[in-house]
């Protein structure tokens, strides 16, 4: 019988984390490296990715590389996967974390350009990366894909509707791919609620108070509080988990009232 601590060991595995230079992506990248994984940090800003990769190499002694990638670009997604195999030789864990939800004046005033950007980053890119990764993972014997969604996917509001619609699509994609690849490639969703990342620094004080008033736990999450779920889904501890949605939101979604 394998000891439970060994089931969480990621030594020898390679993980790609999109949006890995800040926020939840950064926290998950650190957690994966701490538990033995070599990590590819991907985002649009190469300098920020390089800084995180250097930190992971220095702190955890892992191989870590930076790849500038706009996940809304089909070609960039292909290049990210190809670079991972060329530089690190394999891909065992894909964390589709990159996302964006720009403000807009109203649903009717939403521009086509903004709509296309939101859908590209939050839906098109994760699909392309997952499709490319899953094929090669399956051929190599297995892997794990973690799609980072949002509570907006199940309780959308008008201020984030395109984002919520795209994130809801990740749930459908996860269900379909979990069937397509059976237990060979496990595909799951982490569904976070409000977290105190760098994005939250732009919230007016009254907005944060109102958000926290509606959260049953009475507070927003800290980035490190998403890491346990990511480690579980990435590791052999989740060997019988596929097609799941893990809600990490202080009880916010599906709350009463």
d(CA 175, CA 100): 23
Three-state SS at 248? strand
- Catalytic (active site) residue 85: no
Instruction: Give CA–CA dist 34/36, Å, rounded.
Output: 6
Pick the catalytic residue from 163, 181, 232, 254. Answer: 163
Helix (H, G, I), strand (E, B) or coil at 10: coil
Tokens of 237: 């501890």
Residues 6+ apart with CB under 8 A from 105: none
What is the secondary structure of 15-33 as a DSSP string? EEEETTTSHHHHHHHHHHH
Tokens of 233: 């889904």
Q: How many helices (DSSP H) and strands (DSSP E) are in the chain?
A: 9, 7
**How many whole angstroms separate alpha carbon 144 and alpha carbon 12?**
14
The end-to-end CA distance of the chain, in Å, is 46
β-strand partners of 16: 40, 94
CA distances to 42, 47, 64, 135 from 11, rounded to whole Å, are: 20, 27, 13, 22
Number of C-beta neighbours around residue 111 at 10 A: 11
Active site residues: 163
């Amino acid at each position: 019988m394998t000891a439970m601590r060994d089931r969480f060991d990621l030594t020898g595995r390679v993980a790609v984390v999109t949006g890995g230079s800040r926020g939840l992506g950064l926290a998950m990248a650190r957690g994966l490296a701490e538990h033995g994984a070599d990590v590819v940090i991907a985002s649009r800003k190469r300098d920020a990715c390089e800084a995180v990769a250097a930190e992971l190499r220095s702190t955890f002694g892992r191989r870590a590389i930076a790849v500038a990638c706009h996940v809304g670009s089909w070609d960039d997604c292909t290049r990210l996967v190809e670079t991972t195999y060329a530089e690190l030789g394999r891909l065992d864990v894909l964390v589709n974390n990159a996302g964006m939800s720009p403000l807009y004046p109203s649903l009717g005033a939403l521009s086509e350009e903004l709509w296309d950007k939101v859908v590209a980053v939050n839906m098109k890119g994760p699909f392309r990366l997952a499709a490319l990764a899953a094929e090669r993972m399956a051929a190599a014997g297995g892997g794990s894909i973690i799609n980072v969604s949002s509570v907006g996917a199940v309780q959308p509001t008008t201020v984030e509707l395109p984002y919520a619609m795209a994130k809801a699509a990740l749930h459908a994609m996860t269900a379909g791919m979990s069937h397509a690849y059976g237990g060979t490639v496990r595909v799951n969703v982490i569904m976070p609620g409000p977290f105190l990342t760098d994005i939250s620094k732009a919230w007016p004080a009254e907005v944060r108070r109102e958000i926290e008033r509606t959260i049953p736990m009475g507070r927003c999450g800290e980035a490190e509080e998403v890491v346990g779920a990511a480690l579980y889904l990435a590791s052999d501890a989740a060997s019988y988990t596929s097609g799941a949605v893990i809600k990490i939101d202080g009880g916010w979604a599906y709350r009463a009232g």
